[in-house]
Amino acid sequence: MPHAAEFTPITISLIMGLELLRKGPSPDIVIAWKAAIDEDDAFSRIRCPLCSWQPSASSLWACASFGTPEPYFGGCGAIWNTFATRGKCPGCDHQWQWTSCHRCEGWSRHADWYATERG
Ligand SMILES: [Zn+2]
Ligand SMILES: [Zn+2]
C-alpha cells in the first residue's frame, strides 16, 4: 500500500479560499484534521441552515478573512474541518462566528449548523 496522501487534489479543489492558496500558504499551517474527528456520527446532525447540505469529516475550510461576514482579522490560512473544532481555527485560535456552505456558498452562523436533537 502506498502512503495515503493527507490531501488529494480533489479535496484541495473543494477548499474555499482558493485565492489564499494561490498566494502559497506554508504547508506547516495545513492542519491534520483527521485526528480531531473521533466520530462521523457527529456530522450527521450538522447541515447547512440554507440548503441542508451536510458536511462530512473530509470537508475542509480555510482560515481566510475575505468575502466573509466575519469582522476582518487577517486570517492565518490554516485549512481544517471547522466542525471538528466548532469553528475555532487551529492555526490562530480565531473563533469563527460564520461558516460558509460548500454547496450553496451561503454564510450562516456556525451555531445554526447544528441541528437540535428534537429537530
Ligand atoms: Zn486562523
Ligand atoms: Zn448551503
Q: For the chain, which residues make up each domain, given as ranges?
A: 4-111
Q: How confident is the model over 33-84, as pLDDT tens digits?
A: 444 444 556 677 899 999 999 998 889 999 998 889 999 998 999 999 999 9
What stretch of H or E contains 32? Answer: none
Q: Are 43 and 53 in contact (CB under 8 A)?
A: no
Task: Compute the distance from residue 85 Cα to the ligand 2 centre, in Å.
Answer: 20
Task: Compute the distance from residue 34 Cα to the ligand 1 centre, in Å.
Answer: 18
- What is the C-alpha separation between 41 and 30, in angstroms, rounded? 24
pLDDT of residue 97: 96
Position with higher pLDDT, 1 vs 113: 113
Cell output for 107: 454564510
pLDDT of residue 114: 92
pLDDT of residue 64: 93
